[in-house]
Amino acid sequence: MSPPATGLFPPILCTVDVVLLTLRERALCVGLLRRDAAPFIGVPALPGGYVHAQEDADALATAARVLDTKLGLEAPYLEQVATFSGPARDPRGWSVSIAYAALVPEARLDSTAKGFSLVPVAQLPQLPFDHGSIVEVAVRRVRNKSVYSSLPVQFCGERFTLPELQSVYESVLGESLNKVSFRRKMDELNMLEAVEGELLRGNAHRPAQLYRLRPEYRRQLAWSERGIGVG
Amino acid sequence: MSPPATGLFPPILCTVDVVLLTLRERALCVGLLRRDAAPFIGVPALPGGYVHAQEDADALATAARVLDTKLGLEAPYLEQVATFSGPARDPRGWSVSIAYAALVPEARLDSTAKGFSLVPVAQLPQLPFDHGSIVEVAVRRVRNKSVYSSLPVQFCGERFTLPELQSVYESVLGESLNKVSFRRKMDELNMLEAVEGELLRGNAHRPAQLYRLRPEYRRQLAWSERGIGVG
DNA sequence: CGAATAGTGTCTGTTAGACATTATCGA
DNA sequence: TCGATAATGTCTAACAGACACTATTCG
């Protein structure tokens, strides 16, 4: 009921942080960017920034702008994870950070961006602010959703084979899956369509069928009722 | 990068809205409060308020304070749902609302609070701001989680019988459940403990065993891998 | 005793995983 | 032909739901 910051109190800092996730050599990795401003200047942290009321349509747009501006990454799969808040998480004052997870194939990452690094979430260094907690929550969310949905396909490129996709699921879930069951699930989900090319070149074995995600599932997840890799 | 609102731009409004949910006569209902200030003064809306940087430890504390102050509701089950943002959702300007769901047994609601009303989510009126979307997202979240977790016990009082709990699950999920399977699941989840009293008085049939939630699951959910009411 | 609901035993169809078999490439 | 991996067929164990049966109360 009392009006917002009227001059008596400093305004609440409103920011967005992005947990950029990808798979590198079957390891789930998060993208960090060396900070170019205080506080924690020079320290690797989650890419993020202030919400710009004058240009952002909403916080999702802020996340997209941050990725585009700082990493040249356009239109990745983006999903809100949670919002972190409090007086202590940022030394500048009481702050709110709306956290987003971005899932991209490794090939889409231009690691030439200055100060960018990709580190396995299993060997995460100490991070400034509460970025360690943010990564933890984002990774848990992605793993949980991956059990029941098509989320991991976001780590694949445009075309991929079923063995590749199974390996991606296994990497994200951290357990090996039954091939027959996995294929049955992918068939039930009905989210893939075969491409008429094959993976033949250079492999001394039977080539695998190439698939692509049906267009309607590019931004929306397909859900499995009973789970994909449930013991 | 650029500092926050420096005077050139108005600060971003930082608020919390609470989707207070309960079951009344087997219908999922949301609690609305007639607004006592502009904008939309006099209109029923979600209970909410500004984040008070000087007194709230985080946004969860804001939600708890709002419920306590405006409805006299202490220590309900509270869970962050999502954050809504943008220039148009609040006529006062670019705003952020961190939405929380509160799940309480109907008996804990003191409906004597002035301007309070409980309406079934199936017959929700037009709501101010984007409160309609917020309720929709919160309800969807609660229903989805209820398939795999102990979340619906939050709608029960301290002691309850298994037939009661099953009815609660059925009301939330909107489908009837198999009695044997339901009891097997509750047993597997191992979140309940029998109380040595029974429900006998006044019922012309076999009394039901009373249960209570094990203390460790009062704030934390128990999860079922394969789902509780999956067709 | 009968009505009513609580609680349990058991059967069966479905599903998931293990294993085996066939297919198709390169060398 | 052999080695390697893709793709599929089939068997079995586990699970969920249907149904029936027993238990315990009130009137």
Structure confidence by residue, pLDDT tens digits, B82-100: 999 999 999 999 999 999 9
pLDDT at B202: 77
The Cα B100–Cα B77 span in angstroms is 10
Closest CA relative to residue B87, chosen from B27, B130, B52, B126: B130
pLDDT, residue B110, reads 78
**Model confidence over B142-201: pLDDT tens digits?**
999 999 999 999 999 999 999 999 999 999 999 999 999 999 999 999 999 999 887 877
Q: Which chain C nucleotides are covered by protein, judged by CB under 7 A?
A: 2-10, 15-20, 23-27
The answer for B7, left when phi > 0, alpha when psi is -120 to 50, beta otherwise, is left
Supply the pLDDT for residue A9. 65
pLDDT of A10: 76
Q: Which of A37, A54, A227 sits opposite B225 (nearest CB)?
A: A227
pLDDT score at A203? 85
Report pLDDT for A222: 97
pLDDT at residue B9 in the model: 65
Query: What's the gap in Å between the CA of A47 and the closest CA on chain B?
Result: 11
String of DSSP letters for chain B: ---S--SSSPPPEEEEEEEEEEEETTEEEEEEEE--SSSSTTSEE--EEE--TTT-SSHHHHHHHHHHHHH---S-EEEEEEEEEESSSSTTSSEEEEEEEEE--GGG--TTSTTEEEEEGGGPPP-STTHHHHHHHHHHHHHHHHHHBSGGGGGS-SSEEHHHHHHHHHHHHTS---HHHHHHHHHHHT-EEEEEEEE-TT-SSPPEEEEEE-GGGSSS--B-SS-SS--
Q: How far apart are CA A190 and CA A44, in angstroms?
A: 40
Range in A103-112, A179-188, B130-139, B209-218 with the lowest mean pLDDT: A103-112
pLDDT surpasses 90 at B7: no
Question: What residue of B is the nearest CA neighbor of A13?
Answer: B4
What pLDDT was estimated at residue A150? 97
Q: Which residues 6+ apart lie within 8 Å of A99 measured at CB?
A: A16, A17, A18, A19, A80, A81, A82, A83, A84, A134, A137, A138
Q: Report the relative pairing of strands B13-24 and B95-103 from DSSP bridges.
A: parallel
Mark residues 67-96 of chain B whose C-beta is closer than 7 A to nucleic acid strand D: none
Residues B41-88 pLDDT 10s: 999 999 999 999 999 999 999 999 999 999 999 999 999 999 999 999
Instruction: Check B10 against A53: CB less than 8 A apart.
Output: yes
Q: Is there a contact between A9 and B96 if contact means CB atoms under 8 Å apart?
A: no
B203 — pLDDT class (breaks 50, 70, 90): confident
Chain A, chain B: beta-carbon pairs less than 8 Å apart: 94
Q: What is the pLDDT of residue A201?
A: 74
- State the best of B2, B6, B9, B12 to mutate against chain A, taking most chain A CBs within 10 Å: B12
User: Residue B4: pLDDT above 60?
Assistant: no
Chain B residues near residue A231 by CB distance under 8 angstroms: 225
| pLDDT score, position A200 | 74
d(CA A150, CA A26): 17
* B230 CB closer than 7 A to any strand D atom: yes
Question: Is residue A70 helix, strand or coil?
Answer: helix
With CB atoms and an 8 Å threshold, state whether A1 touches B231.
Answer: no
Amino acid (1-letter code) at residue A138:
A
Q: CA–CA separation, B136 vs B128, rounded Å? A: 14
* pLDDT at site A198: 77
B94-110 core/surface letters (b: 16 or more CB in 10 A; e: else): bbbbbbbbbbbbeeebe
In which residue ranges of chain A is pLDDT below 50? 1-5
Asked if residue B20 lies in contact with residue B108, where contact means CB atoms within 8 angstroms, the answer is no
Task: Classify strands A95-103 and A13-24 as parallel, antiparallel or unpaired.
Answer: parallel
Distance CA A86, CA A204 (A): 57
Is residue B5's pLDDT more than 50?
A: no
The predicted structure's pLDDT at residue A5? 45
CB contact under 8 A, A80 and B83: yes
